[in-house]
Structure 1
Amino acid sequence: MASSQPQPGSHENHIISQILDVLKKLQELQNPINRSNPPDSTSAGNWSLVTSASVGNPPSGGSGADNLVGNTQLGRTQSTPLPQRKEVSLDELIRKIQSHVNQLKRDGIKLEDLQHHVEKELRRHLTNLTQDDLKDNSRNIFNLMCQVPLLPDKQKKGASDAQEDDEYRGGRVDVYLPGIHKNKADLTQTETYASVIKNFKSLDIQHMLCLLSFAVFPENGVMNKTMLMYWWMAEGFLPVEDAGTSVAKILEDFKKMGLIEPVEDERKMEPASYKMPPLVHSAVVRLSTSVGLFDIYDEKGKPAMKKSEKKKVCLVEGSSSKDETKITKMQPGDIETVFNVSERFPDFTFKWFKLMKTLKVLYLGRWERTAKRHIEVESPELMKNLNSLSELRLLSLQGISRIERLDDSVCKLRKLIILDLRACYNLEKLPEKIDSLENLIYLDISECYMIDRMPKRLAWLEKLEVLKGFVVSDADEETTCRLIDLKHLERLKKLSVTINKTDFDVNKLKEALVGLKALENLKVAWGGISKDQKEKKTGMDHQAKSVVKNAVKALFRQHAGRHGDGPANPGYRLHKLDLQCFPDAELPEWLQPRNLITLKKLYIKGGTELSGLGELPTVPTHCGVEVLRLKFLPKLQVEWRDLKGLYFPKMELLEKYQCPRVALCPCDGKGIWKVNKP
């Protein structure tokens, strides 16, 4: 008797189904226990906010060198002890495991589909291969390779020998040549040095501090504008209010003086990153060292971890193995800034926390925009001493591995304004009492794929302006922050959302969008919705469709006011809209170009069913979109003359990739078209 051949992945799916059955039985056994032993409700609601009432005054007097350090201080706040953390119930744990297993099941199906697709395409490209086809096939195969998820190898710190470390770095051996800044005699004779000194003397204190901070980065390093803005805010170099305008002006001034250069990117209308010419960088390093602001080079010109006169420490590669990590050697009690320039294992700083009463900036994560530098911590439990950092304003753990959760002690950082957790791949949850961070304005939890729910009190962060990585999922809504709850965040300007909930209700979408009064930048990514589930949802009635249409239209029109509502409502003015993995075959009316009056940037990246941009206009629309990006839209069909002439007449830049039916566009070989400006 012949046996049937098992399908790919059938064994894994069978195991997952068995796990789900066992979890379901456990949950059924747990429910009677919960009903017979209801939780004690008297322990809830015993937590209250304590508001800071005093603001410190800047000290008077001091030498010229002392004046180089920003003296803006937030007043000392009193904090009440947080309640004891509740143990996770068995029922909640079962639901969480069910959610993770279901997600793995969906991801497994996607990977199987991707495997079949790649195998099919490889066979097609490599069959009957000729010499003329080599170039095209090489590009197509590279595109296939880019679609396969990158799974980084786990690296352990210094457990064996130098050979293992060299393997991690691809056999690279660091060779440190003497920096230009160490040759004082030659450097000071150059015209560049004289020009830098002349420009430096003409700057105000704010510009001076910002310029000297470039000494931290390596020669030819690329610095992102957003990273600089939030770092300078935390240091006190920039005011918190309207910091975006301030940093743009400062960088533009530096560019005009020839102190920095924009990193050209033909995909962008304006630069987002900058770098400093080597000779200018050397001059800035000497200036920063001479005034004692940042000092990161030893007498041989090699990067070294040292505490500057202004109490700032930069972590460099290899710092974790140096004697300076010892408390008796570093004396961390008066440190104001810890900035990780190139260290891969920065957790030795955790033992300093108890003594760091003046620390304002703790930048342990990646400052680079790329993920080339692997960072991990071996003892994340040491982070329990974070509550000692009472003056902390910026905490960055971006890209650090092996941090599974933030200890509740982080909730005592009352002066924290920036919390950067981007790409902490092992992070599973945020602290429940996150609203204790009453001064928080920036929260980035994007690319934290293990997080499947938002804490309820996230919506109580009244000062929050940027929220990246919000997750809409099937988690219990009684203990989860829903998208509709964000309507309380009246200052929220930038929001990114990932939707993993199969039955996301359109009425909740309407209420959430109506409440976001200050929103300017919105990014939405759909995920975890299978094709069968999507087909079930296409049967929504006409009334539900009109709710969606009317809800999101509010984002693009200006309200003139309402009877009895008092002063006129300024309405919503989205400047940027980014849609990823768009699930439907048609754009809703609110997203059709004729209704995008105030929008400047529209990105649609991924949407296997999307076929059109709405009814073809007879005359050019009043669409305000200037930058349009269309990627991975195999069914989208439109010609250039209609795209530019009718749909988006104000368009100045188009990026088109893997959109074979967007035809006759005058794009270059990289899929870019940009208007010629005088």
Structure 2
Amino acid sequence: MSTPEAEAEGEGGCILFSKYIDDGILTPLLSSLQVIGDAKSFRGAESSSDLAQLDSIRDMMRELQAIFVKMGENERRIVHLFDPIEELVDDVLNSLAAGGEISTLQPKLAGVGVQIGIIREAISGSYKIKIQEEPSPDRGRDVEDSASAPTMAGIRRCVRDGEQMAHLRRAVHGMDEQLRHCLLCLAAFPEGAVIKKRLLIHWWIGEKFVSSLEDGNELFQQLVDLRFVRTVRRRGHCDTAHACTVHPWIRRMLVAVARSSAFLEIDPDGNGASASNNDFSRTHRACLHDGGLLQGSRFHPQLSTIYNVGQSYVKLSTAWFTYRSQLGTVQLGQWRVADPVDQIAYPRKSHIELIDDHHLKGIGACKNLRYLSLRGISRIMAIPAAIGELAELVVLDLRACHDLQVLAKEITKLQKLQYLDVSECYLLVDMPEGFNKMSQLQVLKGFLVVNSNKRNTCNLGELVSLSNLRKLSISVSKKLKRAEDELKVLANFASLASLKITWGMVSPRDAADESDAAKFNLVLPSNLSKLDLYCFPSRQFGTISSDSLKKLYFTGGKLHSLEIQNGECKVEVLRLRCLKDLQFCWEELRELYPMLEFVEAQHCSGVANWPLDNNKVWTKDAETSNAASAQSEEPTAPDVCPEIVEEG
């Protein structure tokens, strides 16, 4: 029987109390309440008060779950704050072992003290726990020793003004301009923020610090190798870092350098210009904070970047763009990647609203714009025709613009566009004709495959000529059989490496037809390595034809079986989530997928007997390691009959 501690083991092997409560107590309780609510005898009750009471209990339970999710975020953030302490202590031990001078270790020990202070502040801020600032005088010291002990502010000054930080500042100033500017962009984000690598590189593209995603990845890795940023890896099957964070000391140093060089207009604590004046006239970049309005801000005449770090309401005028021809980056939308549960519990935290979206019509004046993000902004009904005048645009991010209904056909004039995201724009009904003209497109997310008799709409076959397209996500709102016919064209996408298919809502009658339909056959591109399927409506697949597929993901839907008839299966990573109808035995899975190295099965009750760890994960390395360990520890068995062994 597993212990509560084992159940609560989170990322990196750390024990998370909130995860234990959520996974071990709240989730099973909610499942039981769902069973009660679905019971025929309960649903058949004459009085509705019992149902109302049950619904109220479930709502309160979900509120508790949202609270524990937030607690889990705080716990993970605090756990990560111990990483620098471990590194510094290891450095001290290594220095001592090598016969290093005690005097050279003082800055590192002082650094440990500063980091402990940061952890204390994080605990106090997250849980409102009052922590005594100075140690009590009865801890083996007299009153004089306690009074003379250095304060936390003193230790911070010691580190800030010490040789170690001076060395870091010299290192930053000694960088080539391109790398230094990329690094200083990180000063714009709040302390402790987790920043998506992709969004950071998009900013760099907008400023011409890099010319492509590939160049951006190389520079990002340089910053990692120099230890100015720490990567954040959240996927056990993926070695690629998709996000990063900056150590608080390094961020404070970057803020100081960014201010002194007029790279960014931020105060010593790293906040943007005050809401009272919004004065950015000293620098070419404006980072918006404090929920103010953009319209009344003062900007440099050669403004190159607008980056919304914390502003909830953005107000423009049609003339505002007229004199902004130097703008290369406009990030008015959301940069944070919020947890869905957190978004429901705290909707205002991620809310951004554009006041008077028709003022976007003036954006065509920004002739040098290379990066435009309206990600997650409310009240944008349409993308204006002026978008077609942005001849230099490389990245256009419209993800989660939930009010967006029309995508102007002029978007297809963007000859240099490499990245387009229109996913989670649920009111869009079709794609304008002419996507094949955007020959540089590498990433396309949210393309709609729909039932439409309208003229001038784009179909999937039109994308075949996009020879640079390597990542595609599509949303299908057709019946399964008709979708199968249209998706056959995917086999002709020669350069495609990653494909995501999401099935939309269908009527209850069509849903019943879909789930009982014949096996679904999918012919994939020859170079595809990753396939991600959301809400697949049928009970089983027929074939997936691909010799290069390494990663296979299923999320939601009616899938009962993982049996796929595709000859020799080379899938190495299998991720399953929210497949409540799935019933499949582990032995059969290993036989059908002999190359598996990583399996994750979250919220799949029919696979309870799979050999998953507390994070619902199985890895081949762990299995091999455990088997070797068990074999080395196994004592030599005596030459006795099995019955005696069992009785013993």
Q: TM-score, normalised by structure 1?
A: 0.64
Conserved? CA contact 2:476–2:483, under 8 Å: no
Partner of 2:217: 248
Cα distance in 2 for partners of 1:517, 1:376 equals: 40
CA distance in 2, matches of 1:440, 1:578: 24
Give the superposition deviation at 1:635.
3.2
**What whole-Å deviation, never above 9, does each CA across 1:544-591 have from its counterpart, x for those lacking one?**
x8xx74xx4452xxxxxxxxxxxxxxxx3112110011122221222x
Alignment of 1:615-630 (within 5 A): 623-630=569-576
Q: Is residue 540 of structure 2 the alignment partner of residue 586 of structure 1? A: yes
Give the Cα–Cα distance (whole angstroms) in 2 for the partners of residues 252 and 650 of structure 1: 30
**Which of 289, 293, 307 does residue 320 from structure 1 map onto?**
293
SS at match of 1:433: helix
Distance 1:302 1:486, change over 3 A: closer
- Tell me, in whole angstroms, the C-alpha distance in 1 between the residues paired with 2:357 and 2:292: 18
Q: Structure 1 residues 649 and 537 mapped into 2: Cα distance closer, same or farther (>3 Å)? A: closer
Deviation, 1:521, is: 0.9
Contact 1:230/1:418 (8 A) holds in 2: yes
Larger deviation: 251-260 or 602-611?
Answer: 251-260
The Cα of 1:508 is off from its aligned counterpart by 4.8
d(CA) in 2 for partners of 1:352, 1:573: 46
Counterpart for residue 190 of structure 1? 162
Shift of 1:453: 0.8
Q: Does 1:285 align with 2:255?
A: yes
Partner AA of 1:249 in structure 2: E
- 1:658 aligned to 2:603? yes
Deviation of 1:409 (Å)? 1.3
Contact 2:585–2:607 (8 Å) recurs in 1? yes
**Where in structure 2 are the equivalents of 1:199-218 lying within 5 Å?**
199-201=171-173, 203-218=175-190
Aligned-pair CA distance for 1:258:
2.4
Number of equivalenced pairs = 483
Equivalent of 2:582 in 615, 622, 636: 636
- Code of the aligned partner of 1:229: I
Q: Determine if contact 1:502/1:528 at 8 Å carries over to the other structure.
A: no
1:659 and 1:527 mapped to 2: Cα distance? 21
* Equivalent-residue separation in structure 2 for 1:183 and 1:358 (angstroms): 43
The aligned amino acid for 1:313 is A
Residue 90 (structure 1) aligns with: none
Of 597-606 and 393-402, the range deviating more from structure 2: 597-606
Give the distance between the partners of 2:280 and 2:606, measured in 1 at CA: 59
Moved over 6 A (4+): 115-118, 123-127, 137-141, 143-146, 180-184, 298-302, 537-541
Q: In 2 relative to 1, CA 675–537 (structure 1 residues): closer, same or farther, beyond 3 Å?
A: closer
Partner of 2:400: 423
**1:360 to 2:333 alignment:** no
Which residue of structure 2 aligns with residue 457 of structure 1?
Answer: 434
Residue 663 of structure 1, CA deviation: 4.5
Shift of 1:192: 4.5
- The alignment status of 1:258 with 2:227, answered yes or no, reads yes
Q: What is the distance in 2 between the residues matched to 1:226 and 1:518?
A: 21
Report the alpha carbon displacement of residue 191 of structure 1 after superposing the two structures with TM. 5.0
The residue type paired with residue 251 of structure 1 is F
- What does 1:278-677 correspond to in 2, within 5 Å? 278-297=248-267, 303-304=273-274, 305-307=278-280, 309-320=282-293, 325-326=295-296, 330-331=298-299, 333-348=301-316, 351-370=319-338, 372-502=349-479, 505=482, 508-510=485-487, 512-533=489-510, 536=513, 549=521, 552-555=522-525, 572-590=526-544, 596-614=546-564, 623-643=569-589, 645-676=590-621
- Shift in Å at residue 320 of structure 1? 1.7
Q: CA deviation at 1:189?
A: 2.0
Q: Call closer, same or farther: CA 1:144–1:479 in 2, change over 3 Å.
A: farther
Whole-angstrom CA distance in 2 between matches of 1:235 and 1:286: 21
Q: Secondary structure at the match of 1:203?
A: coil
**Counterparts of 1:641 and 1:269 in 2: how far apart (Å)?**
25
Deviations 1:232-253 (A, max 9, x none): 112111122xx23x33333333
Deviations 1:18-63 (A, max 9, x none): xxxxxxxxxxxxxxxxxxxxxxxxxxxxxxxxxxxxxxxxxxxxxx
User: Which residue of structure 1 aligns with residue 22 of structure 2?
Assistant: none
Per-residue deviation, 1:540: 8.2
| Alignment match, 1:15 | none
- CA–CA distance in structure 2, aligned partners of residues 185 and 116 of structure 1: 53
Asked if the contact 1:586/1:613 (under 8 Å) is kept, the reply is yes
Q: Contact 2:600/2:618 (CA < 8 Å) preserved in 1?
A: yes
| Contact map agreement 2:412 2:437 (CA 8 A) in 1 | yes
Spell out the pairing of 1:5-16 with structure 2 (5 A cutoff): none
Distance in 1 separating the partners of 2:444 and 2:488: 18
**What is the Cα deviation at residue 537 of structure 1?**
6.3
Distance 2:469 2:543 in 1: 25
Matched residue SS, 1:505: helix
RMSD over equivalenced CA pairs, Å: 3.8
Distance 2:378 2:63 in 1: 28
- Which deviates further from its counterpart, 344-353 or 360-369? 344-353
8 Å CA contact 2:265, 2:272 repeated in 1? no
Contact 2:399 2:421 in 1 (8 A): yes
Shift of 1:378: 1.8
Structure-2 separation of matches of 1:199 and 1:126: 72
Change in 2 beyond 3 A, CA 1:116/1:599: closer
Change (3 A) 1:306 1:187: farther
Comparing 372-381 with 495-504, which one deviates more in the overlay?
A: 495-504
Q: Which residue pairs with 1:81 in the alignment?
A: none
Equivalent position amino acid for 1:646 in 2: E
Deviation at 1:611, TM superposition (A): 2.3
State the Cα deviation string for residues 258-309 of structure 1 (Å, max 9, x = none).
2111224255523321100100000111112222222222799665344365
> Which residue identity does 2:371 align to in structure 1?
L
Correspondence for 2:131: none
Tell me if structure 2 keeps the 8 A contact 1:402–1:426.
yes
Whichever residue aligns with residue 426 of structure 1, its letter is D
Separation of aligned partners in 2, 1:144 and 1:499: 35
Q: Secondary structure at the match of 1:227?
A: helix
CA 1:407/1:116 → structure 2, altered by over 3 Å: closer, same or farther? farther
Is the contact between residue 575 and residue 601 of structure 1 (CA under 8 Å) also seen in structure 2? yes
Structure 2 gap ranges (5+): 1-29, 43-56, 67-127, 129-151, 344-348, 626-648
With structure 2 as the length reference, what TM-score do the two structures score? 0.67
> Equivalents in 1 of 2:189, 2:466: separation in Å?
35
Matched AA of 2:499: L
- Matched-pair contact (CA < 8 Å) for 2:252–2:270: no
* CA deviation string 1:613-647 (max 9, x = no partner): 246x9xxx85332321112223323233332x323
Report the alpha carbon displacement of residue 197 of structure 1 after superposing the two structures with TM: 2.4
Amino acid at match of 2:285: K
1:457 Cα deviation after fit? 2.1
**CA–CA distance in structure 2, aligned partners of residues 363 and 343 of structure 1:** 11
- Which amino acid in structure 2 is aligned with residue 522 of structure 1? L
Cα contact 2:423–2:447 (8 A) shared by 1 = yes
- Contact kept? 2:264, 2:285, Cα under 8 Å: yes
Equivalent residue letter for 1:640 = W
